[in-house]
Amino acid sequence: MYQAHLIISGNVQGVGFRQYVKWAARKIGVSGVVWNRKDLKVEAILQGKKGKVSTVIKLIKKGPPISKVQAVDVAWEKASEQFDGFNVVK
């Protein structure tokens, strides 16, 4: 299993971005979590097969139509815990 830690910047809060990430992850079969940061960025952890995680990252870089993704910083790391499904943190 692979894990990617993402920090997404741009117009990504208040535009349904976290729900989009959840939709993409569930559609592809990736588990993890996504949340808003105080600095107006979105942070996510994705877990799964490397190809599937990479596919979700590609979708995140596009984002939903109302958003504008400027950058996606990706750090591949060793999984410290395993997520059950995909969740949005409020």
**Catalytic option among 18, 26, 37, 87:** 18
Q: Quick one: 32 exposed, middle or buried, by C-beta within 10 A (0-12, 13-18, 19+)?
A: buried
Which residue has tokens 């993704």? 69
**Can 26 be counted among the known catalytic residues?**
no
Spatial CB neighbours of 79, under 8 Å, sequence gap ≥ 6: 1, 2, 3, 47
Please answer whether residues 8 and 44 qualify as being in contact, where contact means their C-beta atoms are separated by less than 8 angstroms. yes
Q: Which residue in the list 26, 36, 37, 87 is annotated as catalytic?
A: 36
pLDDT in tens, 5-23: 999 999 999 999 999 999 9
Return the closest-CA partner of residue 49 out of 3, 84, 5.
3
Which structural domains are found in the chain, ordered by start? 2-76 (3.30.70.100)
18 is catalytic: yes
pLDDT in tens, 51-89: 999 999 999 999 999 999 999 999 999 887 899 999 999
